[in-house]
Amino acid sequence: MKTLILWFRRDLRLSDNPALRAAVDVAETVIPVFIHAPEEEGQWAPGEAARWWQHESLASLADRLAESGSRLILRRGSTREVLADLLAETGAEGVYWNRLYEPALVERDRSIKQWLRAEGHEARSFQAALLVEPWAMRTGKGEPYRVFTPFWRAFGKRGSPRSPRRKPGTLRPATNWPRSESLQALGLLPAVRWYPRLASCWQPGEAGAEAALTRFLDRGLSSYHEDRDRPAVDGISRLSPHLHHGELSPFQAWQRVSERLAAQAALTQGGEAWLRELVWREFAHHVLFEFPHTPEAPLYERWADFPWREDHQPLLRAWQRGETGYPIVDAGMRELWHSGFMHNRVRMVAASLLVKNIRAPWLAGARWFWDTLVDADLANNTMGWQWSAGCGADAAPYFRIFNPFTQSRRFDGDGAYIRRWLPELARLPDKALHAPHEAEASLLQAAGVRLGKDYPRPVVDYRESRAAALAAAKQLR
């Protein structure tokens, strides 16, 4: 009777789970295990919001396994020691898992595989989190990609991604289940109970991912290409946390969208735009895998000595609290604090204000996002911040600095997004809402807004700070 350990990590699903599928195909008994070992993730152990998600998602996975006749064994401690104990306790012949690509985890997994094999155990890992392995993509010169468009073209030439794997039926229970810790004992939930509001915004777990995907296919896909930049419109998929925690595989998402595209020609523009975004995720992982220094340092070394503003701390705090005096940015930062999420357009504008106008280091912004986003993902977050700071893959030229007021008028023209997150400005008319500091005093008075009291004046002057940023970049060259 063959027994295998299925090591769950960020693949918290039963459908399209190649490691689980393979284990069930060859073993009579499969022991599903999750090991909490945050210190093995180096500088980037999951942040607070992502840990809340992980807690909920593990609860959901445990329920699904129980429905299939199995269990989820939870342990904490050094992965190697936990696996050694479990192998001894269960008599399992080996361990199967799906691959992850963050630098610290690549190292850890490599050493676990070597150790298992040296001990005479079977150790197999599978491709599940990405449509294409990051090392499989190479330019004509045999180098890694640093620009998205050629990556996208090369991706297109590879043909369609494989079909998702079937969910196993009933799982045979172990005769003697090993001991499991309680979910609470893992200590994933932050000590300060700020997180209950997240539960009103999200449904972590495989069923929640399925519901979010179906909802997007029915309601968002057809107009995604038009609505994806408008933060007040329900026009995006909000699948990023589900994809990050592996409750939905990119293969499942790709197939479901492609099926709709094939069935309804009207979906072509929206569907193709969405699949392209999904490939940005692949690109970000490719860049992280090939350039593992990038979570802490710029992709391009010449940006390493950028002269950040030394007295940025109080400005950084104002940005974190959504008190910059730039309404679109403050709305985004409050959305983030409330829901663990921020719309992509607003992420770009908020990041630009921090790194270019406030001139605080991009890593300070990346760390704040890391702790507050439910979808905090080392590849996507690093790419987003380095793109915004102009020092990363495919970054726009440095001199293209977002004007938050223009962005706000363009993408939130009627101010619905700002009014939702900044109720103190809700009574301002549209023409005053995007830049209250420029509004006539009578408009502010009529709306009951006292600048500096009810809502701050801009913490930095846009034009002056823009000029200072350009001068700083010039100095670097």
Ligand X SMILES: Cc1cc2nc3c(=O)[nH]c(=O)nc-3n(C[C@H](O)[C@H](O)[C@H](O)COP(=O)(O)OP(=O)(O)OC[C@H]3O[C@@H](n4cnc5c(N)ncnc54)[C@H](O)[C@@H]3O)c2cc1C
Q: How far is the CB of 288 from ligand X (least distance, A)?
A: 11
* Nearest in space to 144 (alpha carbons), one of 292, 297, 304: 292
Complex with ligand X: residue 18 or 231, whichever CB lies closer: 231
One-letter amino acid of 464: E
Contact window for ligand X (CB under 6 A) among 89-97, 264-272, 274-282, 302-310: 274-282
Side chain identity at residue 384, one-letter code: G
Q: Where do runs of H (alpha helix) occur along 75-172?
A: 79-90, 103-118, 148-157
Q: How far apart are the first and last CA of the chain?
A: 66
Binders of ligand X in range 228-247 (CB under 6 A): 228, 236-240, 243-244
| 156 Cβ contact partners less than 8 Å away, ≥ 6 residues apart | none
Nearer residue to ligand X within complex by CB, 109 or 375: 375
56 vs 282 by CB, closer to ligand X:
282
* Cα–chain center distance at 354: 19
Q: Which of residues 329-348 bind ligand X (CB under 6 A)?
A: 344, 347-348
Residues in the interface with ligand X (CB under 6 A) total 28
Residue closer to ligand X by CB (options 95, 130) is 130
- Round to whole Å and give the CA distance between 55 and 395: 35
Angle formed by the axes of helices 268-290 and 250-263, nearest 10°: 160
387 vs 209, 298, 348, 357, 396, CA distance in Å?
A: 28, 10, 9, 15, 7
Sheet containing 94-98, strands listed edge to edge, beginning at the edge strand earlier in sequence: 73-76, 29-36, 3-8, 94-98, 122-126
Residues 356-415 that bind ligand X (CB under 6 A): 369, 373, 375-377, 380-381, 383-385, 388
- The CA distance from 173 to 32, in Å, is 10
> By C-beta, is 85 or 371 nearer to ligand X?
371
Q: Which of 45, 122, 118, 109 is nearest to 80 (CA)?
A: 109
To ligand X, the closest distance from the beta carbon of 50 in angstroms equals: 9
Complex with ligand X: residue 56 or 375, whichever CB lies closer: 375
Rule CB under 6 A: choose which of 227, 277, 424, 430 binds ligand X. 277
Q: Retrieve residue 468's tokens.
A: 């200072």
Smallest distance from ligand X to CB 348, Å: 5
**14 binds ligand X per the rule CB under 6 A:** no
Least Å distance, CB 117 to ligand X, is: 33
Q: How many angstroms separate the Cα of 103 from the Cα of each of 143, 150, 259, 390? A: 19, 24, 34, 23
Looking up tokens 């919001």, which residue turns up? 49
Which stretch in 84-92, 175-183, 276-284, 297-305 sits in contact with ligand X by CB under 6 A?
276-284
Give the nearer residue to ligand X in terms of CB position, either 244 or 309.
244
CB-wise, 211 or 471, nearer to ligand X? 211
> In the range 102-161, which residues lie near ligand X by CB under 6 A?
none
Tokens of 236: 């995006």
Comparison of 32 and 295: residue with beta carbon closer to ligand X: 295
Nearer to ligand X, 244 or 419 (CB): 244
Q: Minimum CB separation from ligand X for residue 370, in Å?
A: 7
CB of 380 to ligand X, least distance (A): 3
Q: What is the C-alpha to C-alpha distance for residues 432 and 434, in angstroms, rounded to an integer?
A: 6
Plot region of 281 (φ>0 → left; ψ -120 to 50 → alpha; else → beta): alpha
CB of 378 vs ligand X, minimal distance in Å: 8
Return the residues of window 173-232 that contact ligand X according to CB under 6 A. 228
Residue 384 beta carbon to ligand X: minimum distance, rounded to whole angstroms: 2
What are φ and ψ of residue 71, in 5° steps?
A: -145, 160
Nearer to ligand X, 224 or 455 (CB): 224
CB of 69 to ligand X, least distance (A): 32
- Residue number with the shortest CB distance to ligand X? 384
Q: How far is the CB of 130 from ligand X (least distance, A)?
A: 11
Using CB under 6 A as the binding rule, the residues of this chain from 279 to 298 that contact ligand X are 280-281, 284
Q: How far is the CB of 473 from ligand X (least distance, A)?
A: 19
Contact by Cβ (8 Å): 432, 444: yes
The alpha carbon dihedral of 204, 235, 131, 340 has a sign of: negative
Q: Note the residues at the interface with ligand X (CB under 6 A).
A: 228, 236-240, 243-244, 277-278, 280-281, 284, 344, 347-348, 351, 369, 373, 375-377, 380-381, 383-385, 388
